[in-house]
Every structure is written in structure tokens, then in C-alpha cells.
Amino acid sequence: MDKKIKTLVSLGAAVAANCIPCFEHYYQLAGKEGITDEDVCEVVKIAEKVKHGAAVATKQCICDIMKGNESPVRCATACCG
């Protein structure tokens, strides 16, 4: 994997983790590596969609657990498994 891809992945991870210091660090690196703001915005949009989907799945799973309708083990794999 080249440096640009690693930086874009790191930016997406920073967004998904809500880590502004990480985002700032990798955004500065992106500029030095010739990554455009358009590409950064695309990564941010993708990361936001992933983060939102995970939040919705987590909320639903918590509600199901509280209602006694769902196994915690199944909930842990609901998003990716």
C-alpha cells in the first residue's frame, strides 16, 4: 500500500474515531503528499457513513438487549459478521 492510501485510510479512521488531533496530523500529511481536499472530503463522507451505520446498529442492539430479544454475542457481530 502506498503512502497516499495509508494517509487516506488514517484520515478515515480519525473521522470514525472522532479524533481531531489525528485528523489534523494526517490532513497536514495529506497536503504534503499531494492529496486533494476533494479526496479528503470523499474519505470523510465514507467514514461518516460507516460511523453512522455502526451507531444505528449499536443503538438497535442495545434496545434489543434491554428488551431481552437479543444475545450480546450476536450483537457484537451484527455489523461486520
Evaluated on CA atoms 4, 6, 42, 44, the torsion sign reads negative
Rounded to an integer, the average pLDDT of 4-25 is 96
pLDDT given for residue 55 in this prediction: 81
Q: What is the pLDDT of residues 17-67, one digit of tens each?
A: 999 999 999 999 999 999 999 999 999 999 999 888 888 888 888 787 888
Domains and CATH numbers, the chain: 3-77 (1.20.1290)
Prediction pTM value:
0.73
Q: Is 57 exposed, middle or buried (0-12, 13-18, 19+ CB in 10 A)?
A: middle
